[in-house]
């Protein structure tokens, strides 16, 4: 098993990412034949209801997790919320799932699409940085 520090978590729903501030978190690669991962984090109490609903529904959700260093690109996972517990001033969220295959050449394809849209200069740079963090779907993936 390998463990990593979890810095942030975003839930990706219909190409919109909702970020949840992580006060402390760990992510564990179980290195098993199922290629499963365990994600555990502490978040603010007001978000408990959201994760309680996800646990009750047992639905698989797409999340983006920044691991180890703040400048790292978010890693995409498909997870199920397994447990939600109040711990002092925070809520502990336990999720299990798998790492989605990283899209190869995402940056190059995104940049190409932004240039096709006529973006340039500072506008291009800002949009590229934002989209690299949020990773919206690309047009070539819709074909």
Domain 2-99 coded CATH 2.40.10: yes
Q: 104 pLDDT band (50/70/90 cuts)?
A: low
Count the neighbouring beta carbons within 10 Å of the beta carbon of residue 34: 8
pTM (predicted TM-score): 0.71
DSSP secondary structure letter of residue 16:
E
Burial annotation 102-124 (CB, 10 A radius, 16+ → b, else e): eeeeeeeebbeebeeeebeeeee
Q: 102 pLDDT band (50/70/90 cuts)?
A: low
Q: What confidence score (pLDDT) does residue 142 get?
A: 53
| Non-local CB neighbours of 4 within 8 Å, separated by 6+ positions | 26, 27, 28, 29, 67, 68
DSSP secondary structure letter of residue 103:
P
Give 78 or 73, the one with higher predicted confidence. 78
Q: How far is CA 131 from the centre of its chain?
A: 13
What are residue 48's phi and psi, to 5 degrees?
-55, -45
Q: What confidence score (pLDDT) does residue 143 get?
A: 43
Per cent of the chain over pLDDT 90 is 60
What are residue 137's phi and psi, to 5 degrees?
-65, 150
DSSP string, 50-66: HHHHHHHHT--EEEEEE
Triad 139, 76, 43: Cα angle to 5°: 125
Report whether 99 contacts 75 (CB < 8 A).
yes
Q: What is the mean pLDDT of the chain?
A: 89
Q: What confidence score (pLDDT) does residue 34 get?
A: 86
pLDDT per position as a tens digit, 13-69: 887 889 998 999 999 999 898 889 999 999 999 999 999 999 999 999 999 998 988
Domain coordinates of the chain in residue numbers? 2-99, 106-142
């Amino acid at each position: 098993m390998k463990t990593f520090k979890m810095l942030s978590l975003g839930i990706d729903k219909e190409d919109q990412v909702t970020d949840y501030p992580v006060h402390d978190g760990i992510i564990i690669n179980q290195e098993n034949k199922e290629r499963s991962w365990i994600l555990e984090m502490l978040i603010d109490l007001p978000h408990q209801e959201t994760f309680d609903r996800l646990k009750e529904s047992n639905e698989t959700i797409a999340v983006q997790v920044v691991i180890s260093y703040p400048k790292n690109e978010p890693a995409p996972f498909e997870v199920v919320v397994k447990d939600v517990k109040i711990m002092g001033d925070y809520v502990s969220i336990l999720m299990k799932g798998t790492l989605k295959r990283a899209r190869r050449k995402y940056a190059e394809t995104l940049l190409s699409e932004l240039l096709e849209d006529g973006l340039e200069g500072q506008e291009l740079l800002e949009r590229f940085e934002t989209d690299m963090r949020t990773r919206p779907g690309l047009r070539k993936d819709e074909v």
